Amino acid sequence: MSAPERIPPRSVTTAELLAEGELTVRGRIRDASNAALYCTVRYDGREAACIYKPIAGERPLWDFPDGTLAQREVAAYEVSEATGWGLVPPTVLRDGPYGQGMCQLWIQEQPDGELLALVDGEEPEDGWKAIGFADIGGGRTALLVHADDERLRRMAVLDAVINNADRKGGHLLPTDEGRLYGIDHGVTFNTENKLRTLLWGWAGEPLTGEAVEVLKGLREALRKGGALAERLAGLLTPVEVDATRKRIGALLESGRHPEPSGEWPAIPWPPV
């Protein structure tokens, strides 16, 4: 007779840990533009560090009158999950000591000086993509460049889909396992084009075959009744979800990375 199979203990997923765990505030993040609290979350013997941004601590924004920053941060995570690229750390909506808010896994950043640089000259060297010229004081300008890195290129596609109005250098967190996460997605999903990013290096270039496949998958998941449409329904307005469908449609139609609409690329300020 064979021994009964051992049932392994059910492991807690990171999203469950974040959503169900006991949240303890450890400190406040200085310089955040809205209330952002560094916390630990504990559930079933597992503990993780996270950031909790209560909705009550959000400053109103005239150009984002609907919804909340917290809901859009979760919506950005849902879209990132639907791409399969895992570019946004696990993010949930939950209750906490200051009420409802977003809770996101804390990523231990491993600064790698290789993502952004200011260089002399008119053209970037191999391995770099031009963003634009930046005033560096004293009447001088330098070329701002970002790495020609496939993780950044995927992030640029995600940002085009979510219409990210604030992709700065400090919102890109490389880890020592070689991953790259994007954070701070409160100003996204506007129905008007607000793409403001540093990642303009591929503007106008054809999308990779991989990106086209991912966009087709998103289009499918976002059709009425699709899995992603259901997930976004509680987070965004129907008009915002529709605008997201249109952005995906436009990307697939052009087959190219979007280009800045003005004379100068729309770059967040400060860029880092």
Binding residues vs ligand ADP (CB under 6 A): 29, 32-34, 36, 51, 89, 104-107, 170, 173, 183-184, 186
- Residue with CB nearest Mg ion? 184
Residues β-bridged to residue 128: 147
Q: Residue 115's binding partner, choosing from ligand ADP, Mg ion, none, with beta-carbon cut-off 5 to 8 A by kind?
A: none
Q: Residue 183's binding partner, choosing from Mg ion, ligand ADP, none, with beta-carbon cut-off 5 to 8 A by kind?
A: ligand ADP
Token pair of 251 as six digits? 């990307």
Q: Residue 89's binding partner, choosing from Mg ion, ligand ADP, none, with beta-carbon cut-off 5 to 8 A by kind?
A: ligand ADP
Residue 270 burial (CB count, 10 A) = 8
- Give min distance, CB of 174 to ligand ADP, in A: 11
- Give min distance, CB of 168 to ligand ADP, in A: 9
What backbone phi and psi angles, to 5 degrees, belong to 73?
Answer: -65, -40
- Give min distance, CB of 82 to ligand ADP, in A: 19
Q: Which is nearer to ligand ADP, 61 or 250 (CB)?
A: 61
Q: How many residues belong to the chain?
A: 272
| Cβ(180)–Cβ(87) below 8 Å | yes
Q: Residue 107's binding partner, choosing from ligand ADP, Mg ion, none, with beta-carbon cut-off 5 to 8 A by kind?
A: ligand ADP
- Give min distance, CB of 93 to ligand ADP, in A: 15
Q: Which is nearer to ligand ADP, 32 or 239 (CB)?
A: 32
Q: Which is nearer to ligand ADP, 172 or 222 (CB)?
A: 172
- Give min distance, CB of 124 to ligand ADP, in A: 26
Name the site residues for Mg ion (rule: CB under 5 A).
184
Cis preceding-peptide flag for 270 (omega within 30 of 0): yes
CB-neighbour burial class of residue 212 (10 A; exposed 0-12, middle 13-18, buried 19+): middle
Q: Which is nearer to Mg ion, 233 or 272 (CB)?
A: 272
| Cα–Cα dist 149/112, whole Å | 13
Token pair of 35 as six digits? 């209330």
User: Rg for the chain (alpha carbons), in Å?
Assistant: 20
| Cα–Cα dist 49/81, whole Å | 20
